Amino acid sequence: MGRLASFATLSAITTLFLLLSTVPCQAQLSPSFYDTTCPNALSTIRTSIRQAVSRERRMAASLIRLHFHDCFVQGCDASILLDETPTIQSEKTAFPNVNSARGYEVVEAAKLEVERICPGVVSCADILTLAARDASVAVGGPSWSVKLGRRDSTTASRSLANSDLPGPSSSLDALISGFGNKGLSARDMVALSGAHTIGQAQCFLFRDRIYSNGTDIDAGFASTRRRQCPQNSGDANLAPLDLVTPNSFDNNYFKNLMQRKGLLQSDQVLFSGGSTDSIVSEYSRTPQTFASDFANAMIKMGEIELLTGQNGIIRRVCSAIN
């Protein structure tokens, strides 16, 4: 009987170990992950990002978007930073990213600074996650605590980038579904869309909307935007996503939506008689709620499908496998 009991206990322990080994890896993350192995990592990254944003304020929006486009494709693993090779189909050349995603060199510069003080310790995935937070702060947006310990992928997926990233013409249902597939709620989606309070978009992404003569766009706003976005040329011409305060992280984006002045169709669908109208209205009235929800949604997004522990690698440069 004693032997049977011992066997049962051993089986239970083995089962528990197997169960624990499948627990999501977020539990291994910690804000203090580098405190002993690279104590100056966070301040070094912060300085590097602040300098980049001070050189070009638009870079704040680009870094937040780069992090978003990374996390939505096989998780927050810095796969978006990998260049094309015979064995890697780079996400940089996927339709949502090509000639659009920017800030790669800023992340690489921050990585170079960190490598100088702590070679082979800090992942590119963590640097990109911290860069998004530091970029938000640099333009007056919220701050949040970033749990660290992500590792870098050895693969990328152009096909997933093409299928999983939302587009400028996405419907509300498609947005809710796409974010839901990543574990993010409709409220998270609206809050994260508020990152469009900064940054710019290319003419070809909003041309159909401003020439639609639709009931969901303010006529004066459409007319203003047409001046820099002709019907048959100027595809790469830029327009601010928030015409009022394009370089400040605030809640004007939501006020714009309520006035039918969303630049992208995927912006305006958030306030178009659908289920998210009340959230947009709330954020337009209470900037503190938006800032808090944005920070919480960024934390959630930054913990999608992570590589930790012995999974993945620590890249020496962010654009290539060691």
**Mean pLDDT value of segment 283-309:** 98
Residue 242 annotated as lining a ligand binding site: yes
Residue 35 annotated as lining a ligand binding site: no
Residue 75 annotated as lining a ligand binding site: yes
pLDDT confidence band for 21 (50 / 70 / 90)? very low
| DSSP-derived secondary structure letter, 26 | G
Interval 186-216: pLDDT, tens: 999 999 999 999 999 999 999 999 999 999 9
Instruction: Give yes or no: 67 in active site.
Output: no
Residue 267 annotated as lining a ligand binding site: no
Residue 250 annotated as lining a ligand binding site: yes
Interval 158-181: pLDDT, tens: 999 999 999 999 999 999 999 999
Q: What 3-state class would DSSP assign to 313?
A: strand
Residue 73 annotated as lining a ligand binding site: yes
- Would you tell me the crossing angle of helices 219-226 and 203-210 to the nearest 10 degrees? 140
Q: Report residue 289 as tokens.
A: 């709620």
Interval 132-160: pLDDT, tens: 999 999 999 999 999 999 999 999 999 99
Q: Say how far apart CA 318 and CA 98 lie, in whole Å.
A: 18
Q: What phi and psi values does residue 244 have, to the nearest 5 degrees?
A: -80, -55
**Helix/strand number for the chain, H first, E second:** 14, 2
**Mean pLDDT value of segment 240-261:** 97
Residue 275 annotated as lining a ligand binding site: no
Percent of the residues in the chain that have a pLDDT greater than 70, as a whole number: 92
Interval 74-92: pLDDT, tens: 999 999 999 999 999 999 9
Q: Does the structure show a pLDDT above 90 at 57?
A: yes
**Strand partners for 200:** 240
Integer CA distances (angstroms), 321 to 79, 94, 108, in order: 10, 19, 14
pLDDT in the model for residue 28? 84
pLDDT in the model for residue 53? 98
Residue 91 annotated as lining a ligand binding site: yes
Q: What phi and psi values does residue 313 have, to the nearest 5 degrees?
A: -135, 175
Asked if 125 and 80 touch (Cβ cutoff 8 Å), the reply is no
Q: Say how far apart CA 242 and CA 253 lie, in whole Å.
A: 6
- Catalytic one among 58, 69, 150, 158? 69
E strand segments, the chain: 200-202, 238-240
pLDDT confidence band for 320 (50 / 70 / 90)? very high
pLDDT in the model for residue 5? 45
pLDDT in the model for residue 6? 45
pLDDT confidence band for 24 (50 / 70 / 90)? very low
Asked if 195 and 264 touch (Cβ cutoff 8 Å), the reply is no
**Mean pLDDT value of segment 312-320:** 98
Residue 305 annotated as lining a ligand binding site: no
Q: Does the structure show a pLDDT above 50 at 15?
A: no
pLDDT confidence band for 8 (50 / 70 / 90)? very low
pLDDT in the model for residue 4? 42
Asked if 277 and 257 touch (Cβ cutoff 8 Å), the reply is no
pLDDT in the model for residue 269? 98
Which residue ranges form the domains of the chain, and what is each CATH number?
Answer: 41-165 (1.10.520.10), 172-300 (1.10.420.10)
Interval 98-128: pLDDT, tens: 999 999 999 999 999 999 999 999 999 999 9
Q: Say how far apart CA 114 and CA 278 lie, in whole Å.
A: 43
Burial bucket for residue 63 (CB in 10 Å: 0-12, 13-18, 19+) = buried
Q: How many other CB atoms sit within 10 Å of the CB of residue 168?
A: 17
pLDDT confidence band for 73 (50 / 70 / 90)? very high
Q: Say how far apart CA 72 and CA 19 lie, in whole Å.
A: 26
